[in-house]
Amino acid sequence: MPFETPAQQEEEETVETLQSELAEIDARLAELKTRMPPEQQRELDELEKERPNAPKQPGWEEAPDIRKALRNMRGTEAIENWYRYSRKSFYNEQLTQSIMQGVWNEVRKSDKFDSGFKEDMRVMKRQYIMYSGDLTLGFDPNVTKALHETHGYELDELRSLANKRLTELGPDGERPHTQSGGPLGNYFDNYDGDFIDKGKMRNIGREYQALIAAHNQVSSKKQSDGADTRERIEVRFKAGFTMFDDVSQNLADNEFTLMPGSLRGLYVVMRNMDENKLQHYRDRDLDVKIPMVNFFIEQFRDEILGVRNAAQQNLELFTWFVNKAGQNFIPFSSIREDLKDWYEIIKALVGRPRDARVQPSIYPKIQDDSEKRKGRDAAVMRRINELRSERGLPAMDAQNHPFARIGVVK
């Protein structure tokens, strides 16, 4: 039976009708625009400049069967053919991220692929994590993607510095200045301010704009980013966390430890670290694991001192460290000196009572504290409130400390 095709005349009539309707709409818009007062037009133009421009996020709504086929791929045969005949296909981030991690593990073991390709795919597999990380740092991912082509090393160095700064200052609250005692402010307060790092004067916002200018001198694809207001940077920060929630679901738990170091330490990754992901770090070197534990303790400390709220996932990790298999994750005597007392406080708050298998604390557990039984505050709560009083903060009790938010109330 021969196939029938639509009549050519009907197609032409449809196109003409749509073009006519579109012309009428354009004319109507132009007429309305002429009626707009100049002040409103200027305001509208300024708002258009402020419009956030986020990268396209992964999703397979249009072709779910293709995604299913990629997820069901086993072995490296298809990867070898694409590598040989259509290598540029892998630079479609959506495709590369959808291929399962087990296949990429086999690629990394194979001698049929060059080392540069393996490292590129290691990054490409998690490119959306980098985009969400850039957003939390206040950068435009579309701009940083272009900058990476011309100034990759300088951009990675700036990312590392900005991430370190965000981790130290936090996105909310005020960190006390170590020298003057006055409030230093959070990351957003200091985004475009000077500070000293390793004896050198630095400025996150200014260096970011300088990189854009340097890129524009050597590239025909000019870039611009006017993210110089606190409001826009904060919007990007929140968008970065929202994006991470979407894209991290495409990754297996063990993929987080396989990330390049520039991704593993991102603030958005660390704040969302949980037990399922962290246990895959068991076989990593201590110089990777100990800074991670220091980060989690700092988050708890900062909530006690009113600097920022710790993430629920980070708080839940301490029940794993103290009561479960995480006890041997690191030698906990190796944590930073200034954090050791804080870890003793944590162990007293989350440790199971009258259980010899939990990590012991110099502070008695609340249920076993004789002072608590006499109606007085437990020793660990007295220590917490001493530290809070130094910041002028109200006292806490056993019902409203940070772990109470995850159900650990004694």
Task: State how far the Cα of 197 lies from the Cα of 258, in Å rounded to an integer.
Answer: 29
What counts of helices (H) and strands (E) characterise the chain? 20, 4
Output the six-digit token pair for 107. 């690629």
pTM, to two decimals: 0.77
The answer to whether residues 131 and 52 touch, using CB atoms and an 8 Å cutoff, is no
From the number of C-beta atoms within 10 Å of its C-beta (0-12, 13-18, 19+), residue 304 rates as buried
Which residue from 54, 74, 196 is spatially nearest to 132, judged by alpha carbons? 54
**Which residues touch 269 (CB under 8 Å, ≥6 apart)?**
129, 133, 244, 256, 259, 263
Going by their DSSP bridges, the two strands 195-197 and 183-185 should be labelled as unpaired
Per domain, the residue ranges of the chain are 77-125, 273-410
- Residue scoring higher pLDDT (270 or 22): 270
* Beta strand segments in 103-233, E: 175-176, 183-185, 195-197, 200-202
pLDDT at 128 over 60: yes
The answer to whether residues 340 and 348 touch, using CB atoms and an 8 Å cutoff, is no
- Residue scoring higher pLDDT (174 or 197): 197
pLDDT at 78 over 60: yes
pLDDT digit string, tens, across residues 1-10: 444 444 455 5
Name the least confident of 80-89, 90-99, 170-179. 170-179
The answer to whether residues 330 and 286 touch, using CB atoms and an 8 Å cutoff, is yes
Q: How far is CA 190 from each of CA 195, 206, 345, rounded to the nearest angstrom?
A: 9, 11, 31
Task: State how far the Cα of 360 lies from the Cα of 350, in Å rounded to an integer.
Answer: 11
